[in-house]
Chain A
Amino acid sequence: MNDPRLDRREALKCLSAWSATAVVWTLSGGVPSALGATGSGPTASAGSGDLTFVQISDTHIGFRRDANPDVVGSLRRAIADIHALPQRPAFVVHTGDVSHLSKPEEFGSARELLAEIKVDRVHTVPGEHDTIDDGVAGYLKFFDHDGKGRAWYSFDQGGAHFVGLTNTLNFKAGTMASLGDEQLAWLKADLSGRARSTPVVVLAHIPMWTIWEPWGWGTSDAAQAMELLRPFGSVTVLNGHIHQVMQKVEGNVSLHTAMSLAYPLPAPGAAGIGEPGPVKVPESELGKLLGTRQVSIVRGKTELAMIDRSLDR
């Protein structure tokens, strides 16, 4: 890159032009930071040696109601946006609710659509809409990433360690969802022995912090996972589920929710709205509330660079 100031200006220009659909994450030298989009600190820009990927979420393939009669069209618009990025992302992550009703035909259709994205891989984690009837079994028939017959996994890329978690199982009546002891034990083993300087990026559908408990917008045993993650110098948690961008920073851990590609949901506990059901907005507004996130891990930065872009901007 020539002039970092120019890069930043360019990044901000892109940001203002794109406003809210996708977030681009860049990892450089293993440390994620947001490209101009989030946070109040100086923004970073992705260089050629950085790792950039895209987060999409909550496609709800199979949903056909008024809040968005064409979720396939919305996903295809997001795919076009991803292809238009100046820097080809290394991969795409989908943070859950791939399908609306966990039906095989929905998973099949989603898998075909995601295969249209010109990236090496699409990593997914299941949402609660993907685990309705038979837990994670139906989802795994289409999205068993490591062939181990379970929905959680990890991989290393660009100097960072990526962990995909499943926090839509272990549902107990009257409580928020949880990761469960088996998965927490796996996470502990997965992280043990890794250099604390390794940037960790966690993918999970439901927010890993409690945003609004009456709506189940949180993970009941997230604290136990955070205990395992906190020793690392850079931890970025990418969530979906609430169909809107929110973030929280706790020391070295930053947590971010993303927009949906299906329909908006109300703000947490919004006055006068007693439940987190799909919100019907005027057709001209829908595209401003759906979007993607570009993420980059920039060398020398501890924060990932993110840009949330809406489909309409």
Chain B
Amino acid sequence: MTTRTFRAVRLAPCVTLCAAALGAMLALSPGRAAEPTTKTVDIAKFAFVPREITVEPGTRLRWTNHDETPHTVTSQDGRKVLASPGMDVGDQYEFVFATEGDFAYFCTVHPMMTGVVHVRKSAGKAS
């Protein structure tokens, strides 16, 4: 199975890199800044799991679609902070949350699927 990772990048809306190439690049970049903490959300059985998650600012969130049906991770408001392309089975989408806030999102293909990310400085202590 081919796994594609979609990364939200500020200047280029979405850059597609295969996971292997991404891993190789990271391995070859020993001098780079510390990687952000990564947390994961699964997309499975037409649901975001967990549906609600609280993370510290600077956390990278990685969604992985386990369904054979395509899904998206898309901001509910018009700001398009979260804007994944259609994700096939195995595809991943990543976003680093720099600032505090509540980020509600849904799947544009299946709008009944909703989720929310709470970004809080106290997230680590609270959980």
Q: Show the binding face of A for B, using Cβ within 8 Å.
A: 63, 65, 67, 100-102, 128-129, 132-133, 171-177, 213-216, 274-278
The distance in angstroms between the C-alpha atoms of A276 and B104, with both chains bound, is 23
Cβ-based interface call for B54 (8 A): no
The distance in angstroms between the C-alpha atoms of A258 and B107, with both chains bound, is 25
Given contact pairs A214-B112, A274-B45, A133 touches B85 in the complex (Cβ within 8 A): yes
Smallest CB gap from B85: residue in A = A133
Residues of B within 8 A of A102 (CB): 86
Q: Are A176 and B112 in contact (CB under 8 A)?
A: yes
Give B22-73 interface residues, CB cut-off 8 Å to A.
45-47, 67-70, 72
Residues of A within 8 A of B72 (CB): 132
Give B101-126 interface residues, CB cut-off 8 Å to A.
104-106, 108-112, 114
The distance in angstroms between the C-alpha atoms of A158 and B89, with both chains bound, is 44
Chain B binding site: helix, strand, loop or mixed by DSSP? loop
Q: Are A100 and B45 in contact (CB under 8 A)?
A: no
Residues of A within 8 A of B114 (CB): 173-174
Residues of A within 8 A of B86 (CB): 101-102, 132-133
Given contact pairs A102-B86, A132-B85, A274-B46, A175 touches B111 in the complex (Cβ within 8 A): yes
The distance in angstroms between the C-alpha atoms of A175 and B112, with both chains bound, is 6
Q: Are B46 and A171 in contact (CB under 8 A)?
A: no
**Which of A132, A215, A274 is B70 in contact with, Cβ under 8 Å?**
A132
Q: Interface size of B by Cβ–Cβ distance < 8 Å?
A: 22
Cβ-based interface call for B76 (8 A): yes
The distance in angstroms between the C-alpha atoms of A101 and B72, with both chains bound, is 11
Residues of B within 8 A of A177 (CB): 111
Q: Are B112 and A276 in contact (CB under 8 A)?
A: no
Smallest CB gap from B109: residue in A = A128
Residues of A within 8 A of B109 (CB): 128-129, 132
Given contact pairs A275-B47, A277-B45, A171 touches B70 in the complex (Cβ within 8 A): no
**Which of B69, B76, B108, B112 is A277 in contact with, Cβ under 8 Å?**
B69
Q: Are A173 and B67 in contact (CB under 8 A)?
A: no
Given contact pairs A102-B86, A133-B85, A278 touches B108 in the complex (Cβ within 8 A): no
Given contact pairs A67-B68, A277-B68, A173 touches B85 in the complex (Cβ within 8 A): no
Q: How far is the CB of A220 from chain B (nearest CB, A)?
A: 9
Q: Are A129 and B70 in contact (CB under 8 A)?
A: yes
Q: What are 20 A-B pairs with beta-carbon distances under 8 A?
A: A101-B70, A132-B70, A133-B86, A171-B106, A173-B76, A173-B106, A173-B114, A174-B111, A175-B112, A176-B111, A177-B111, A214-B112, A215-B46, A215-B112, A216-B112, A274-B45, A275-B67, A277-B69, A278-B68, A278-B69
